[in-house]
A and B are shown apart, each in its own frame.
Chain A
Amino acid sequence: MAQTVYKNDSGQIMFGNSGNVFCVPYDFKKATNNRTGIGAWLKIAGFEVTYPYTLVMWVDLQHSITSNTNPIWAMHSTEDDIIVRNTWYYGACYHRIQLNYTASGGGSSYVICNLGTGTTVEKGKHLSVFRVNSSNVPRYNIDTKSYGGSSTYMPTDPIDEVWLGAGSFANSSSPSNLAQWGDTFNRTLMYNRYLSTAEILYMLNNGSGRDPLTKDGLVFDIYPNKAESLDFSADQDGSDMRCGIRDNSGNLIHAQIMGIADGTVAEQVEYSNTSVLKNFID
């Protein structure tokens, strides 16, 4: 049977991890919120990065973001109990290239790639990139419950958790804010280096699903095609099995699916594959 080559919204042919051309139908999957439950989100832990670092994430927003209470991702440093959270003025990066943008409330010594159009992030598919090359990054201050200002800049503490689809105001252990209903998340990569603009543009131009230009410095690579029962134990001895999404970097930094109902891991995996993950590209 003849197959149809898949093209993205820009008419570009897309390739899989193996280099094969995607054909229709291609079963893209992603993590999404499910308000029937409580709101699923992904927690990635078990790593540690200090600047420079870069987070790259494909998202499909079902609503325009006009408030900073709609988190797409958050970073957490348990050492100093602080959170770096995306907002359009604190480091999110979206479609429509506008490089070397300096976020309001932030200094000029760090450069973010803002692909937005001012203060509103439009709904649609975006490549969110947050790259840091200095400690001068705004952070959420747990004590004062506020953002901005040099006193709340992030120190040199390592980032050791990334939350996808969730952020927090109230505390650093669990989210009090989730992405808006229907917002979805596809491939997400963390690097322990400052990605070049050329590397970001490469990913942007090739669309969701394709391998990055290089895996040099890759910390994790979460490609949410399916939920699995994964071993989160340090010794990899099967003593800590959880429902999650596999890390394709080879570093075993899997993403745990949070916010889903309690039950056996097998039940959570089955539920996640049927209700939490759904097609990223419709």
Chain B
Amino acid sequence: MIPKIAVIQTVNFDASNYSEVIQDKFVDITQNETAYKKLFAFNNYIDDYDFDFVFDSIDGYEAWLLEGVDTTITKVAYDWENDKAYITIADTNFPGPHEFDCTEEWTIEDCQNAINEKFNIA
């Protein structure tokens, strides 16, 4: 058995098309402003069924999610005992808080630059 991750656009999703074992295991996700149903299951519940994308690893799935990451900053918190900044973003898949080393309060531009660097956004 091989675990896989598969997604199908919500508008095309019909639970009855899939095995009864996993029909209630789909979860809602959003990628690049498009709604999907995601299934994390063994390959026998994925290989012979209809999906838009199938991923063999979490890395591949996360790379796909990152294609549409929303880096809008929603919250910034600091831990001065440990010199850390914790930045939360609007993306539903990677909201954070994302931790950064920080010795003084950052401007919103500093925060955005740190987030952009983390997600490799130029």
**A residues neighboring B (CB under 8 Å):** 35-39, 67-69, 89, 104-105, 144-149, 169-170, 260-264, 267, 270-271
A36/B95 in contact, CB under 8 A = no
**Given A145-B97, A262-B41, A263-B41: A105 and B82 interface contact (C-beta under 8 Å):** yes
B81 CB contacts on chain A under 8 angstroms: 104-105, 147-149
- Taking CB atoms and an 8 Å cut-off, the chain B residues in 20-39 that contact chain A are 21-22, 25, 39
**Given A146-B86, A271-B1: A262 and B97 interface contact (C-beta under 8 Å):** no
**Given A144-B77, A262-B41, A263-B42: A169 and B97 interface contact (C-beta under 8 Å):** yes
The 4 closest A-B pairs by CB, nearest first: A261-B3, A37-B3, A262-B41, A262-B25
Q: What are 27 residue pairs bridging A and B, where the CB atoms are less than 8 Å apart in the complex?
A: A35-B59, A36-B57, A36-B58, A38-B5, A38-B58, A68-B99, A69-B99, A144-B77, A145-B75, A145-B86, A145-B97, A146-B79, A147-B81, A147-B82, A148-B82, A169-B97, A170-B96, A170-B97, A261-B1, A261-B42, A262-B21, A262-B40, A263-B22, A263-B41, A263-B45, A264-B21, A271-B42
The answer, yes or no, to whether B13 is at the interface (CB within 8 Å) is no
Cα–Cα, bound, A270→B3 (Å): 12
**B residues neighboring A (CB under 8 Å):** 1-5, 21-22, 25, 39-42, 44-45, 56-59, 75, 77-79, 81-82, 86, 88, 95-97, 99
A262 CB contacts on chain B under 8 angstroms: 21-22, 25, 39-42, 45
A105 CB contacts on chain B under 8 angstroms: 81-82
Cα–Cα, bound, A169→B88 (Å): 10
A267/B1 in contact, CB under 8 A = yes
Q: Look across to chain B and name the residue whose beta carbon is closest to the beta carbon of A264.
A: B21
Q: Which of B3, B88, B97, B99 contacts A271 (CB 8 A)?
A: B3
A39/B75 in contact, CB under 8 A = no
Cα–Cα, bound, A39→B21 (Å): 21
**Given A261-B4, A263-B41: A146 and B78 interface contact (C-beta under 8 Å):** yes
**Given A105-B82, A260-B3: A145 and B95 interface contact (C-beta under 8 Å):** no
B2 CB contacts on chain A under 8 angstroms: 36
**Given A146-B79, A263-B1: A35 and B58 interface contact (C-beta under 8 Å):** yes
A208 to chain B, nearest CB (A): 28
Q: Which of A261, A264, A267 contacts B40 (CB 8 A)?
A: A261
A263/B79 in contact, CB under 8 A = no
A68/B82 in contact, CB under 8 A = yes
Cα–Cα, bound, A75→B95 (Å): 22
A69 CB contacts on chain B under 8 angstroms: 99
B77/A37 in contact, CB under 8 A = no
B40 to chain A, nearest CB (A): 6
Q: Look across to chain A and name the residue whose beta carbon is closest to the beta carbon of B76.
A: A145
B22 CB contacts on chain A under 8 angstroms: 262-263
B45 CB contacts on chain A under 8 angstroms: 262-263
B75 CB contacts on chain A under 8 angstroms: 145
